[in-house]
Amino acid sequence: MAANILKPLAVFCSQSQSEQYIKKVRNLGDAWRTLSEEPALDSDRDSVVIEARFDFIMKITNALAEVEPISVEMTTSRTPSSPELHAQNEPIRHYRIFADYGTDFIWRSLHDIRHDEDSHVESEEILSPFPSALLDLYDAWVDEYTDNFKKRCEDTQDYSANVFSTVSEEVAWNVAGYLLAWRIAIAPQIGSVEFSAGRSEYLLKRGRETSVTRQFLEDQAKLLAERKPSE
C-alpha cells in the first residue's frame, strides 16, 4: 500500500515542470532525478518529506515502513507574516479550486458567498496575504493547464482530447495543485478548500490531512495504473 501511495509523488518529483514547485525532498530515492536529495535523519528513515518553495512541507510517516497506519502532516516552515494571521473579528472563509478554462480556478464555497459577492474570485485577491511565491506558483499552475487546453483542445476544436499529453504530466499537475491547495487550507484565515482533480473532490481542512491525502494518492496511483502513458 505504501508503495502505491508514493508512486504519484515519485511521478511528480520526476517531471521537469515540477522543479519550480519543489525546494527539498527526502526519501523518494530514484524519483528525485534532477535535483539533489537531502539525506534522511535516522529518526526519519520511514518518512517521506516534500518541502515546497511556497512555504509548505508535507511529511508522510510510515510511508516506507510497510506498516499501518501512515500519518500525514502539513506544516509551514516559518511563522506566518502579519497579514496572514487571522483577526478574531474576521470570518473564516471557505473556497473551491477546480480547473475551468479562462478563469483563475478558485471560487468561494457555495455556502460561504455573501450577498454582495460573486462565487468566482481572482487568485491575487485570495493569495496576496500569503508568501509571494504561493501566488506566483499558483498562477504558473493555472497557466500550465490553460496553455495545454488551448493547444490540445481549443486550437484543434477537439474538446474530448486529454488536456495533458501523458498521464504522468496529468498526475504531476494534480499533485502540484493538491500541495498548493493545502498551503491555502492550513492558513489561519481559511476554514477549508475543496480541491478537485478530474471528477474527484477532496475537502482539505485541519484534522483531515491523513485521510484525504491517502485517498487522493490512491486515486492518482489508480489513474497511473489504468491509463496508458500516451492517454
Helix H, strand E, coil C: the string for 170-193 is: HHHHHHHHHHHHHHHHCCCCEEEE
Residue percentage of the chain with pLDDT more than 90: 66
Tens of pLDDT along 46-88?
788 999 999 999 999 887 766 668 899 999 976 444 445 544 5
* pLDDT for res 69: 81
33 has pLDDT over 50: no
pTM of the model: 0.89
**CA-CA distance, 210 to 111, in Å (whole number)?**
25
pLDDT tens, position by position, 189-208? 999 999 999 999 999 999 99
Residue 39's pLDDT band (cuts 50, 70, 90): low
Query: If pLDDT is split at 50, 70 and 90, which confidence band does 1 have?
Result: very low
List Cβ neighbours of 85 (8 Å cut-off, separation of 6 or more): 188, 189
For residue 161, give the C-alpha cell.
Answer: 482530447
C-alpha cell at 147: 496553455
Report pLDDT for 226.
Answer: 87
Q: Regarding predicted confidence, which is higher, 41 or 52?
A: 52
Indicate whether 44 pLDDT > 70: no
With 70 as the cut, is the pLDDT of residue 2 above it? no
Is residue 29 over pLDDT 70? no
pLDDT tops 60 at residue 117? yes
| 19 vs 30, higher pLDDT | 19
In a 13 Å sphere around the CA of 35, the CA atoms on its Cβ side amount to: 21
> DSSP per residue over 32-60, as a string?
--SSPPPPPPGGGTTEEEEEETTTEEEEE
Burial of 136 (0-12, 13-18, 19+ CB in 10 A): middle
CB burial class (10 A; 0-12, 13-18, 19+) of residue 2?
middle
Residue 3: pLDDT over 80: no
User: 86 vs 190, 196, 209, CA distance in Å?
Assistant: 9, 26, 21
pLDDT digits (tens, 9 = 90+) for 88-110: 567 899 999 999 999 999 999 98
Q: Which of 7-16, 174-183, 211-220 has the lowest mean pLDDT?
A: 7-16
At position 27, the amino acid (one-letter code) is N
